[in-house]
A and B are shown apart, each in its own frame.
Chain A
Amino acid sequence: DQQVKQNSPSLSVQEGRISILNCDYTNSMFDYFLWYKKYPAEGPTFLISISSIKDKNEDGRFTVFLNKSAKHLSLHIVPSQPGDSAVYFCAAERKGGSEKLVFGKGTKLTVNP
């Protein structure tokens, strides 16, 4: 049973435009959400996170939105750059709970020049 779902395996956008990556979760106990970025032949690296007490967190070109009632979060990248081309993983955890970080299957973003 997949607790974190990224239903779009891939996304292609034009340089300079907005990239929106989506993630849904089923476990209402999750209270912290993270996005990781992964380039080929490298390990995932942390990008941005959001606590369940917030609905938005911004870091430069990256913004994560959380809709708890819909159990949905999204990552916005504005403006998108070719260097953003990577696989993006959504992850969720429950602080003080099972201590496990659960990942989605990932979305491969391609930003075309």
Chain B
Amino acid sequence: NAGVTQTPKFRVLKTGQSMTLLCAQDMNHEYMYWYRQDPGMGLRLIHYSVGEGTTAKGEVPDGYNVSRLKKQNFLLGLESAAPSQTSVYFCASSPPFRQKNTEAFFGQGTRLTVV
């Protein structure tokens, strides 16, 4: 019963390098999200998707791109990493909010350090 799995769990990047964070869910959820958590800032939404092939910007989308080619996967890309992107990244998935009693399920997080 994997739930939401994030890959990798840790990564150190040099400024200007690129990378992709992978999120996979096995609950057949329609919606998927990428958040970042910084000290004193809570969880801020980067991008989200309400279905396969769709993406939308969240609160802090700059410097990130996403793709949802398959329903179960949501990829977060950093084209040119900056130290300001040092953070813990969380992926989440949920059924459509129009359904009753739904909540989002989170992955374990990816700790990214940009030096």
Picked from B4, B40, B97, B103, the residue with its CB within 8 Å of the CB of A95 is B97
- How many B residues touch A, CB cutoff 8 Å? 27
- How many A residues touch B, CB cutoff 8 Å? 26
Do A103 and B42 touch across chains, with their CB atoms under 8 A apart?
Answer: yes
Shortest A44–chain B CB gap in Å is 5
**Within the assembled complex, what's the spacing in Å between the Cα atoms of A11 and B40?**
14
Contacts of B4 in A (CB 8 A): 43
Per-residue CB contact flags for chain A residues 38-50 toward chain B (1 = under 8 Å, else 0) read 0001111110010
Interface status of A29 (Cβ within 8 A of chain B): no
Interface status of A9 (Cβ within 8 A of chain B): yes
- Interface contact tally, CB-CB below 8 A: 60
Q: Per DSSP, are chain A's interface residues mostly helix, strand or loop, or mixed?
A: loop
Q: Which residue of B lies closest to A34 (CB)?
A: B103
Contacts of A97 in B (CB 8 A): 97
Interface status of B2 (Cβ within 8 A of chain A): no
Q: Which residue of A lies closest to B3 (CB)?
A: A43
Q: Which residue of A lies closest to B106 (CB)?
A: A43
Do B97 and A41 touch across chains, with their CB atoms under 8 A apart?
Answer: no
Do A45 and B106 touch across chains, with their CB atoms under 8 A apart?
Answer: yes
Contacts of B58 in A (CB 8 A): 100
Can you identify 29 A-B contacts, CB atoms within 8 angstroms? A32-B97, A34-B103, A41-B109, A42-B108, A42-B109, A43-B4, A43-B90, A43-B106, A43-B109, A44-B43, A45-B106, A46-B104, A49-B103, A94-B97, A95-B98, A96-B97, A97-B97, A99-B50, A99-B97, A100-B58, A101-B33, A101-B45, A101-B92, A101-B97, A101-B104, A102-B45, A103-B44, A105-B41, A105-B42
Given contacts A43-B90, A101-B94, 4 further A-B contacts (CB under 8 A): A43-B109, A44-B90, A100-B45, A105-B42
Pairs of residues from A and B, 4 with the lowest C-beta to C-beta distance, nearest first:
A43-B106, A105-B42, A103-B43, A46-B103
Which positions in A face B, CB cutoff 8 Å?
6, 9, 32, 34, 36, 41-46, 49, 89, 93-97, 99-106
